[in-house]
Structure 1
Amino acid sequence: MNNFLFVAAENDGLHKCKAGGMGDVVRDVPRQISERGDKVHVVVPAYSRLHHGGMFKTNLNFELRGTTYTAELYEVIPKKEFSNIHHYVIHHPEIEGGEIAKIYHDNSVEPFFTDFIKYVIFCTAVAEAIKQGAFGELDIVHMHDWHSSLVLFLKTYHPAYGSLKKIRFVYTIHNLAIQGIRPFENNYASLRNWFPNISYDTEKLKDYRYQDCINLMAVGIRFADAVHTVSPSYKEDVMLPSRPPEFIGGEGLEKDLKEADEQGRLFGILNGSNYSNINVETKGMIYRNTVIALFRWLQDETKKYKADFLAHTGEKIMKHIIESRPGFIVSSVARLTEQKFYFFKRSPEAFVAILKKLEKVNGIFILLGTGAPEYEELFRKISYENRNFIFTNGQSERLIDSIYLESDLYFMPSLFEPCGISQMLAMRNGVPCLVHHTGGLKDTVEHMKTGFSFDGDTFDEKIKNMLDTYDLALDIYTNDKPLWKKIQTNAKKMRFTWKKSVDAYYKLLYLCG
């Protein structure tokens, strides 16, 4: 039996421990591993809340900033129990929940300041727990994004954690654009402040652009035994330099990624999707679930500043229910960030043009999400000005389920996309997707077969092709029902299974297949 440890910032196997697609992966891959008879431990930060009701396992004592820190390891109850899977959280008062999904902090003046501090404490506690044998004798540690990569720094440079070198370390890149860059010196959230007595090689840790800084995403890529991108096409993308906004590639780390590939350490394996034990809403409940979500958000203290807008959205929904049900629903569910909606932020007139085209088929556009303030403000403004745009500015799992179930077309114009889970969830319900032909979207949506895709050599060309492809989709829906039905059926038949993905993990990443 192999013994695994997953180290991540998110785990959707636990309640209220997800902000993005990483949480889905950290939930689903251990379940596949357990089905093979292997053992998995999953550890995430407690964020000052997830340890409540958990079972205390042990204190973890370690040195940081020249003083002794004590963190607590708890085993916690997951959403669903699976044999051979154990879920843990690490609690320390300085590992706080942030503004984003009560997980990440948004330090606008000094990016990554607070998150660097809490993930340094978390990773050091994880290294200490491994050293103590809290998870048993481990064969493989699978880390996710920059939040966990400091474990590799400790394994390499910290004399207390040399015993970790006998374990195989795998590193998965979920979002290469967020790299966890902080100064080496002269800052509270600097590497030297937290590890004042450790000798390390700045050349092997530095960021190429900010050479007085450590790049924790680069640490994961440079020091892991295997590096993994979450789709084959994204692997090819990241070995090329970025040319924003036309192309998003290696984001300054393409040299490291090419080197990892030449060394046989870089692998592109498509994420899977869950096709069993699905919590699906009853069809016809999308408006009811929208109203319920709006009332809940109105009672949430953190959303009081949005009360007028939430009430405006509720009134709009009630008009659609009472006066006339829409004939066509286009939807998007995503964090409101540059990655997901750059095209609309830079060219809002293109989004308004989409809404105008929808009027011809009595259609509405439903967008669910929260995120960057400037994106929220943009979509609130467009919602006030356009009757057929329903902006549900919050998070609700039941409403998300209804959106995936009841939409006619799912829209995903990501600037770049390492893999994407939303298109898989929409296709699972037989909803064709309209996507930007990039990264994992290339690997999952085939134009005119299972959905629609657009591309272009310049930004303006991409916008034009996006609108033309949108026209094509509406034309087929309106005038060629047999073809539309065929695309729906093809989309629903697609199976991006975790079994297939984890087969490749065992063979290429874990070397135990």
Structure 2
Amino acid sequence: MTLVSVKRVLLVAAENDALHGAKVGGMADVIRDLPPALGQCSVIADVAMPNYGFLAQQYRVAHMADVEVDFAGERHVVSVYRMPRPQNKDEMVDIGEQDNTGAQIYLFDHPLFNHQGQVYCNGSADRPFAEDATKFALFSLSVATCLVNRLLPYFDVLHLHDWHTAMVAMLRGCVAEFSALQAMPCVFTIHNLALQGIRPFSGDDSSFAHWFPQYMDKLNAAADVSLFDPRYNNCINPMRMGIVLSDKVHLVSPSYAREVLMPSDYHKGFFGGEGLELDLATKAQQGNVVGIINGCVYDDKPLNDVDHQTGYAGLLHQAENAIIKWQAKANNVSVLDTIALTRMSQYKHAVLAEHLRSLEVNSRTFDDDKQRFLLTSVGRLTEQKVLILLQPYSATQIDKSLSSAKTVLEAVLESLKRQQPNGVFMLLGSGDLHIAKVLQATAARYDNFLFLHGYDEALSEQLYQSGSLFLMPSSFEPCGISQMLAMRAGQPCLVHGVGGLNDTITDNVSGWVFNGETLAAQGQALVERVNQVLALYGSDTWQQVKHNAAKQRFSWDDVAKQYLAKLYVANDNDQ
């Protein structure tokens, strides 16, 4: 088989951290870092994404074209803006440095894409994904129309990311007027299979029939095996569309690519194919499911002790500043922020008292940084991230000292108190308000738990730099970036052995791993592993694992080469 050289690809995505304000999760990191990595392989990687009502204006971008589409029974005009990919997202593109690969970003603008500067809508429990599904259906129609009408350049590969863009694959595969797009190979990347964008087929203003009435009697046979959710016969499933109708499906780690081929079993704490395992297994049998781990950006500067260990007092100061910024945007004082500020005040008084006592004893300078164990965690407050921590805990015969703990998190905190009396667990995250309430109650009861309810990039970086041990007990983790960032800063990790965590951390070598056959067993294993790892702190074994963690490299340059070899080429049986 003769392979055509790939010169230009189009990444279609909802997020992009190359632009300020367009990041929510790990997808944004990929869309930020993949284009320059592909550029090193002489491939131009352009990005198409919604404007969200502010990006083009923020970067003072010139209007490129208007595209007219029929959507929801009406004629709509979607404006398209084009900008060179900036080197620095915080600089305006006309005054800052531009990407030297020639990569472009196409911003699609329409009132339906504008949600007060937010990428996603929270939506309501009775109509999940309603607003988002509508806007991404219109966005996908606009992108497909631009490609068919050649308003965008010619691309060798069309690369779609998550359910938000999957209807491009649907139009390409099911509607005759977009069939020309089938000449362009289509890759579909799944960043998180748990979010699928499921909506009714009809009977709602956020439904397939309402969005595309003009195609209802024109869908080809492929629609019968790709549009509908296998569990709900009157619902469409965009994630399924992307899986069935793309040429190749990419999962963001090899382990996750294997896990999704099996059905989920929530009782056992296993998250697999989430109802789409049969479609994925069929694709895998064709050789068209590929697992490639995401990369991380490294500058490979030597770790400086001063930079790496920013200091406990400095970390508390950074956390206080973050809370003040959050409060500046709030109408009322947050109870969670009040608890956190009170705890930090207590910590500061304790440090001062210890410092004074040390001066009285030997008149030498007190170095608290070398005595303070910091357990850290950074991530979204979702069941995916904290389900194991919030499980009920039952003390074993081996360790009855934790008998007062009601949850796995409380058992972890009691273990930390016993083995590292001055230790603190700092958790930074926002998301599910119910989870936040549970963590709030725990933070009020345990003085060694500092829950910082929000997100702040500078604070997260300082947690990576200053922590002793990073905890990532995800129930499933397609790839994960936090563990890579912690290791990059020289902080070893304790993780659940699933997905990308399993692929990036080797137990007792570059970090520590726990497992379990059920949710209860996973919680028990986590507590036992915490006890074991805390007992190692400061030992030669600890230092070696820490050293190994800092040496790990998951380079985007290597990842880009795998994309070209495994994703952006056709199989022999596809020819």
TM interval, short-chain normalised: over 0.9
Whether the 8 Å contact between 2:41 and 2:561 is mirrored in structure 1 is no
Equivalent position SS for 2:146: helix
**Structure 2 residue aligned with 1:492, among 519, 533, 550?**
550
Evaluate the alpha carbon distance shift between residue 104 and residue 22 of structure 1 in structure 2; reply closer, same or farther with a 3 A threshold: farther
For the pair 1:137 / 2:137, whether they are aligned, the reply is no
In the other structure, the counterpart of 2:21 is: 16
Whether the 8 Å contact between 2:15 and 2:119 is mirrored in structure 1 is no
Query: Which runs of structure 2 are paired with 1:140-155 in the superposition (5 Å)?
Result: 140-155=157-172
Residues in 2 aligned to 1:463 and 1:194: alpha-carbon distance in whole angstroms: 45
In the other structure, the counterpart of 1:263 is: 286
In the other structure, the counterpart of 1:212 is: 234
Whether the 8 Å contact between 2:391 and 2:408 is mirrored in structure 1 is no
Whether the 8 Å contact between 1:51 and 1:90 is mirrored in structure 2 is no
What is the identity, as a one-letter code, of the residue corresponding to 1:366? M
Residues in 1 aligned to 2:511 and 2:167: alpha-carbon distance in whole angstroms: 40
Q: How much has 1:386 moved relative to structure 2?
A: 1.5
Residues in 1 aligned to 2:177 and 2:566: alpha-carbon distance in whole angstroms: 30
In the other structure, the counterpart of 2:338 is: 311
TM-score, normalised to structure 2, is: 0.85
Residues in 2 aligned to 1:132 and 1:306: alpha-carbon distance in whole angstroms: 52
Residues in 2 aligned to 1:245 and 1:408: alpha-carbon distance in whole angstroms: 33
In the other structure, the counterpart of 1:341 is: 386
Whether the 8 Å contact between 2:78 and 2:110 is mirrored in structure 1 is yes
**Structure 2 residue aligned with 1:118, among 131, 135, 146?**
135
In the other structure, the counterpart of 1:321 is: 348
Q: Could you list the per-position Cα deviations for residues 107-147 of structure 1 after superposition, in whole angstroms to 9, with x for gaps in the alignment?
A: 31111111111101111111122223333111111111000
> After alignment, is 89-98 or 434-443 more displaced?
89-98
Whether the 8 Å contact between 2:391 and 2:520 is mirrored in structure 1 is no
Equivalent position SS for 1:443: helix
Structure 1, unaligned runs of 5 or more:
none
In the other structure, the counterpart of 2:108 is: 90
Structure 2, unaligned runs of 5 or more:
1-5, 89-97, 302-306, 352-367, 393-405
The CA RMSD over aligned residues, in Å, is 2.0
Whether the 8 Å contact between 1:30 and 1:40 is mirrored in structure 2 is yes
Residues in 1 aligned to 2:513 and 2:53: alpha-carbon distance in whole angstroms: 42
In the other structure, the counterpart of 1:332 is: 377
For the pair 1:70 / 2:77, whether they are aligned, the reply is yes
Q: How much has 1:160 moved relative to structure 2?
A: 3.2
Evaluate the alpha carbon distance shift between residue 458 and residue 307 of structure 1 in structure 2; reply closer, same or farther with a 3 A threshold: closer
In the other structure, the counterpart of 2:257 is: 235
Q: How much has 1:161 moved relative to structure 2?
A: 2.1
Evaluate the alpha carbon distance shift between residue 305 and residue 373 of structure 1 in structure 2; reply closer, same or farther with a 3 A threshold: farther
**Structure 1 residue aligned with 2:431, among 371, 379, 394?**
371
Q: How much has 1:197 moved relative to structure 2?
A: 1.8
**Structure 2 residue aligned with 1:508, among 547, 551, 566?**
566
What is the identity, as a one-letter code, of the residue corresponding to 1:27? R
TM-score, normalised to structure 1, is: 0.95
Residues in 1 aligned to 2:326 and 2:315: alpha-carbon distance in whole angstroms: 16
Q: Could you list the per-position Cα deviations for residues 81-102 of structure 1 after superposition, in whole angstroms to 9, with x for gaps in the alignment?
A: 3122212221100113379x64
In the other structure, the counterpart of 2:484 is: 424
**Structure 2 residue aligned with 1:42, among 21, 40, 47?**
47
Q: How much has 1:454 moved relative to structure 2?
A: 0.7
Query: Which runs of structure 2 are paired with 1:462-473 in the superposition (5 Å)?
Result: 462-473=522-533
Whether the 8 Å contact between 2:10 and 2:48 is mirrored in structure 1 is yes
Kindly, what percent of the aligned residue pairs are identical? 34
> After alignment, is 344-353 or 502-511 more displaced?
344-353
Equivalent position SS for 2:159: strand
Residues in 1 aligned to 2:50 and 2:309: alpha-carbon distance in whole angstroms: 35
Structure having the higher Rg: 2
Whether the 8 Å contact between 1:41 and 1:135 is mirrored in structure 2 is no
Whether the 8 Å contact between 2:9 and 2:44 is mirrored in structure 1 is yes
Evaluate the alpha carbon distance shift between residue 465 and residue 168 of structure 1 in structure 2; reply closer, same or farther with a 3 A threshold: same
In the other structure, the counterpart of 2:361 is: none
Residues in 1 aligned to 2:384 and 2:171: alpha-carbon distance in whole angstroms: 31
> After alignment, is 243-252 or 306-315 more displaced?
306-315
Aligned length: 508
Residues in 1 aligned to 2:162 and 2:12: alpha-carbon distance in whole angstroms: 9
Whether the 8 Å contact between 1:248 and 1:415 is mirrored in structure 2 is yes
Whether the 8 Å contact between 1:245 and 1:415 is mirrored in structure 2 is no
Whether the 8 Å contact between 1:405 and 1:429 is mirrored in structure 2 is yes
Q: How much has 1:79 moved relative to structure 2?
A: 5.4
Evaluate the alpha carbon distance shift between residue 316 and residue 503 of structure 1 in structure 2; reply closer, same or farther with a 3 A threshold: same
What is the identity, as a one-letter code, of the residue corresponding to 1:507? A
